[in-house]
A and B are shown apart, each in its own frame.
Chain A
Amino acid sequence: GAVVSQHPSRVICKSGTSVKIECRSLDFQATTMFWYRQFPKQSLMLMATSNEGSKATYEQGVEKDKFLINHASLTLSTLTVTSAHPEDSSFYICSAAGDRGPNQPQHFGDGTRLSIL
């Protein structure tokens, strides 16, 4: 089945550091990738939709200058949390969708647990 690889799986860093998270589709071309944030014991909240070769579409309330998204190829999207602070600590999950029609399910990475000290 379709595989999405997310790296790193865990990051612990100091406040003020910028952190980059990578999301790769390993066996299909992902025209669209999605970035989600999940707080403990809560559901996933969509942060932004990333289309290859164009600017990401951010959901209301998500700071685009804080969460930089780049989707430079059909197999790679990156999320950079700039100048991270403790309130940015969370579980970040990416997903990818191919181009085989609007009803195709999304395939998820294993997530990145970000802890800002």
Chain B
Amino acid sequence: AQSVTQLDSHVSVSEGTPVLLRCNYSSSYSPSLFWYVQHPNKGLQLLLKYTSAATLVKGINGFEAEFKKSETSFHLTKPSAHMSDAAEYFCVVMDPRAGRRALTFGSGTRLQVQP
């Protein structure tokens, strides 16, 4: 079985300051991990993905995440927050075994960016 825990339901930062959204996972095999962003009343947009290649993954809009197997973590970071980053962020683990690609979602972290 696999699971994902997003440690913070809400994160508030000031514009221009760093962003850290925390995610821990549990999996009995080598997982594929993703971060998605959801703006209000919209679907999910892929920010970045980890699929057992480089442990530091760079995504869109200046976001990156580091896969740390020893800590079972996949935290999302950005050096400088923009107002447009305010949204809901989901950490997701995927079962890569053949024939099954359903996703397990974390509970989400709402990022607020203060001016």
Contact = CB atoms under 8 A, between A and B. Distances in A.
A60 interface: no
Interface residues of A, number: 24
Interface string B83-106: 000000010001011100111011
B36 A103 contact: no
Contacts of B36: 108
A16 B52 CA distance: 48
Interface of B is mostly: loop
B101 A102 contact: yes
Main secondary structure of the interface of A (DSSP, over half): strand
Assign chain B's interface to a size class: 20 to 34
Interface stretch (B13-21, B39-47, B65-73, B74-82): B39-47
Contacts of A46: 102-103
A92 B10 CA distance: 23
Contacts of A113: 41
Nearest to B31: A103
Interface of B: 32, 34, 36, 41-46, 49, 51-52, 90, 94, 96-98, 101-103, 105-108
Interface of A: 4, 6, 32, 34, 42-44, 46, 49, 91, 93, 95, 97, 102-111, 113
